[in-house]
Amino acid sequence: MITFVGDVVCPFGVDPRKLAPIRCDFAVANLEGALASAPPIVSARRLRLYSRADIVGALSGLGVRVLSLANNHIMDLPGAPKPTIDWLESRGFVTCGAGHRLEDAARPAVVAYAGRQLAFLAFGWNTIGCIEATADRPGTSPLHPGFVLRKVAAVRGGYPGAFVVILMHWNYELELYPQPMHRQLAFAAVEAGADMVVGHHPHVVGGIEFHRGRPILYSLGNWFVPRHWGTGTFLRYPPVANTELAFSWDLEAGQGTCHWFRVDDSGTELEAIGSEDARTSRRLADLSPFAGASHHEYKAWMKRNRARRRGLPIYRDMNDHLSNLVRDRWMQVRDSLVQLRELTRPLFAARHRINEH
């Protein structure tokens, strides 16, 4: 049984043991940011996330074996991500999705579990601030459709008997439904050989679809994201972000189980509220009213029903490179305006309102 949880981050001043209210045999998480051995000097005017290095004990307590580092905060601290990767791997964790260069960031994490090989690939979307690695620059493995599909096919060919999992850091914060481009890419990844696609970044739990019998989880939401930081930053989420999901997949039976949790407004107290079969989950069904729609139908549905607007473009087609480039350029301008607004706020009132960005 493999269990997947979403974003994990734990600053100094927060007890990391609280992130492990359950014990899993084999868990996978997204570590949102680099590790620090002492409180780093960061500005409250710019949101920088990191975790205290002794979080590793709590991660082990949760049963985490694999950590995705392909996210928009892994490069927040100087020198990242190499010290974080070295620290984690020296303590028995396996990482994927970030590295000192592109070759490292795109390398699959391959581990043995329950008599099988498991192969993990992780990718970060530059549109939401993931800094992409290059041949001579550290960063994350880029979430470009062609690149993703080539890597999936290569892993499937190189590890024909492995269970291949693709971890995607994508979509907008608080968006309940996948970008049409990302939905297309998830289906294509399954067709290229992925056995499972798991997404995170929106801070809210998203829906699920099965393509060729393989599960696609569009967003796991947060798992452990404290709201108050010693830098004077206070992360503000709407109530919808207080529902958390730990998703377990039985490798032998090919069945999923949803373990639902509720977190308090501090983001640090997790309470179990029930478990249910993934295929009959009422909560997931309510988040997946589009399940089974064609890609063409979904584009129109998404336009009518998306949760986030405020100048955020819809990425409609993964193969429309020119239009996607134009959208990316607009997002860069928009992000610059958001940062300018933050810089004009008084330091003592600095807040990062997730539901506004």
Task: Going residue by residue through the chain, which has 357 residues, state the pLDDT in tens, using 9 for 90 and above.
Answer: 999 999 999 999 999 999 999 999 999 999 999 999 999 887 656 778 999 999 999 999 999 999 999 999 999 999 999 999 999 999 999 999 999 999 999 999 999 999 999 999 999 999 999 999 999 999 999 999 999 999 999 999 999 999 999 999 999 999 999 999 999 999 999 999 999 999 999 999 999 999 999 999 999 999 999 998 766 678 889 999 999 999 999 999 999 999 999 999 999 999 999 999 999 999 999 999 999 999 999 999 999 999 988 889 999 999 999 999 999 999 999 888 877 766 655 544 445 555 444
> Can you give the pLDDT at residue 225?
96
What span, in angstroms and rounded, lies between the C-alpha atoms of 8 and 169?
13
The predicted structure's pLDDT at residue 9: 97
**Which residues does 219 contact at the CB level (< 8 Å), separation at least 6?**
6, 171, 178, 199, 200, 201, 202, 204, 205, 206
Q: What angle do CA 182, 1, 57 make, to 5 degrees?
A: 90
3-state secondary structure 200-218: ECCCCECCEEEECCEEEEC
Q: How far apart are CA 135 and CA 316, in angstroms?
A: 29
- The pLDDT, as a whole number, for residue 356 is 42
First to last CA, the chain: 36
pLDDT number for residue 353: 52
CATH code of 227's domain = 3.60.21
pLDDT of residue 139: 98
Q: How far apart are CA 349 and CA 333, in angstroms?
A: 24
Q: Which two tokens stand for residue 17?
A: 């043991």
Q: Which of 257, 202, 240, 246 is nearest to 223 (CA)?
A: 246
CB-based contact 95:88 (threshold 8 Å): yes
CB within 8 A of 352, min separation 6: which ones? 47, 233, 234, 235, 236, 342
Q: What angle, rounded to 10 degrees, do the helices at 145-158 and 180-192 form?
A: 20
Amino acid 117: pLDDT:
97
Q: How many domains does the chain have?
A: 1
pLDDT at 349: 42
Distance CA 40, CA 50 (A): 9
Burial code of 157-189, b = ≥16 C-beta within 10 A, e = fewer? eebeebbbbbbbbbbbbbbbbbbbbbbbbbbbb
At residue 125, the pLDDT reads 98
Kindly report whether the global pTM for this prediction surpasses the value 0.75: yes
**DSSP tag of 19:** G
Range of the domain at 221: 2-353
* pLDDT of amino acid 337: 81
C-beta separation of 201 from 219 below 8 A: yes
pLDDT at 48: 87
CB-based contact 237:228 (threshold 8 Å):
no
Task: Report how far Cα 282 is from the mean position of its chain's Cα atoms.
Answer: 23
Angstrom distance (rounded) from CA 222 to CA 8:
7
User: Beta 235-236 vs 222-224: how paired, if at all?
Assistant: unpaired
Closest CA to 68 of 142, 148, 169, 147: 169
